[in-house]
Structure 1
Amino acid sequence: MNVYKWYYLSRWLYLHHVPVLPFIIKALIRILWAAVIPYQADIGKGSFLGYQGLGIVIHKRCVLGENCHISQNVTLGGTSGYWEVSKLGNDVHVGAGANIIGPVTIGDHCIIGAGAVVITDLPANAVAVGVPAKVVKIRDDEQQN
């Protein structure tokens, strides 16, 4: 059983108002995989957490679209002073060690390079790298396949 299935079980229990079990599963995820994947976060179907979610930290109000690929040691979260947190579109690939912080919206089909720090919104089909992350390319339909 992988970490996404554990998350999905805790999310299902949370949405069906089962009291203590989601918290216990969240704690087990923290112990077994050194990851913070809260049941309150909305992670879309088909998403993949690389290396069993090793080192991934997701804020509880984050929204991830469907079929996202989140590599190890990625942080998706907020920043002090803002209630809003990161939102990822569908089919987003986030490289290892990247940080997406603050009220940032990532468009569909984006690629974020390893180690990038995203602090501004990214349009759909963008490829972003660097600290702070900058869009280096907008992919067309042929490059997405």
Structure 2
Amino acid sequence: MKCIRLMDFLYVRGIPILPKAIQWFIRVICSADIPVGIKIGKNSVLKHNGLGVVIHENALIGENVIIMQHVTLGGRNGRGAPVIKNNVFIGAGASVLGDITVGESAMVGAHAVVIKDVPKGVTVGGVPAKILKKIE
């Protein structure tokens, strides 16, 4: 995450080459595709150094989000990018595809494929993802 924060810091200040160099470094070392200018909230974490994580350039990630390894937050045939609200957990290998909103305090299970919005405070899993548990 420190590399991503540094990349964002440099990008916002208009420094031209270094953000792309950091993006390349992240891609080579962690096999992750994290675009320059990505919006990631405070205290959000890419576990396992973001190994294999792919994030759409227009995705928005809130605060206190935990993203495990090999997660894809991507587009779906030109249908926008995911919005991940605050306090969300996304399990290993999960895919959130398209113009999807994952509500606050939701959990996405490992290897789930999310193609519909996830309401606040629920756990989803499966292919395609379905609600498994609601927080009461």
Specify the TM-score bucket, using the shorter chain as the normaliser: over 0.9
Aligned length: 136
Alignment of 1:21-32 (within 5 A): 21-32=18-29
Alignment of 1:1-145 (within 5 A): 4-82=1-79, 84-140=80-136
What is the percent sequence identity of the aligned residues? Answer: 43
Measure the CA separation in 2 of the matches of 1:39 and 1:6. 11
Q: Which runs of 5+ in 1 are unaligned?
A: 141-145
Q: Deviations over 1:38-90 (max 9, x none)?
A: 122111110111111000001111100001000000000101132x2000000
- The TM-score with structure 2 as length reference comes to 0.97
Tell me which amino acid in the other structure corresponds to 2:91: G
Task: Out of 30-39 and 94-103, give the one that drifted further.
Answer: 30-39
- The TM-score with structure 1 as length reference comes to 0.91
RMSD of Structure 2 on Structure 1 (CA): 0.7
Q: Which runs of 5+ in 2 are unaligned?
A: none
Q: Deviations over 1:102-125 (max 9, x none)?
A: 000010000000000000001100
Measure the CA separation in 2 of the matches of 1:51 and 1:105. 24
* Structure 1 residue ranges (4+ consecutive) displaced by more than 4 angstroms after TM superposition: none
